[in-house]
Amino acid sequence: MCHTTHVTLLRFTLRPGQSIVEQLLFAAQKAFLSGEYQPGQAFPSVRALAADLKIHPNTAHKVVQHLIQERWLEVHPGVGTVVAVPPKARTGDRQRLLQEEVEQLVVEARRVGVRLQDVIEAISNEWSKIDQAREANES
């Protein structure tokens, strides 16, 4: 059974069979890129994240630590954990995306019988959603 959970502005739909950590990392990065969380804005503590999402505190800790390590979050003593300016792409990120992840998308799309035009349209729609959310959050 799937359900949607909200933590402040962090939204995701829990999907059985997928790592909760990976799902939360994706939801957080999407929220950062769409402007739902702004640089300098407080991010929920591990305790608040675990309680609001009804997940084990170790899972919440793993998510927060990964976001800190990947430079999406910063720790400010006496203030707490805040959203950082989105990190610059590292060497190889673009190549990995355009080779490995696109290859996986194409293989899966072919497996389920999705047409190329439908994949392109879906990518375009998702791109537009993030742009629109960012514009809405900036105004």
**CA–CA distance, 91 with 56 (Å, rounded to integer):** 34
| Residue range(s) defining the domain that contains residue 108 | 93-138
DSSP E strand boundaries for the chain: 4-7, 10-13, 73-76, 80-83
Overall domain count for the chain: 2
**CA–CA distance, 23 with 6 (Å, rounded to integer):** 13
Kindly tell me if the per-residue pLDDT of 4 is higher than 50.
no
On whether both 9 and 73 belong to a single domain, the answer is yes
Please write the tens of the pLDDT for every residue from 5-46. 444 556 777 788 889 999 999 999 999 998 889 999 999 999
The tokens 């990995």 sit on which residue? Answer: 96
- Looking at the whole model, is its pTM more than 0.85? no
Q: How open is the CA angle 128-132-136, to the nearest 5 degrees?
A: 175
Kindly tell me if the per-residue pLDDT of 56 is higher than 60.
yes
On whether both 9 and 53 belong to a single domain, the answer is yes
On whether both 111 and 46 belong to a single domain, the answer is no
**pLDDT score at 9:** 54
Kindly tell me if the per-residue pLDDT of 117 is higher than 90.
yes
Please write the tens of the pLDDT for every residue from 73-116. 999 999 899 999 998 888 888 888 888 889 999 999 999 999 99
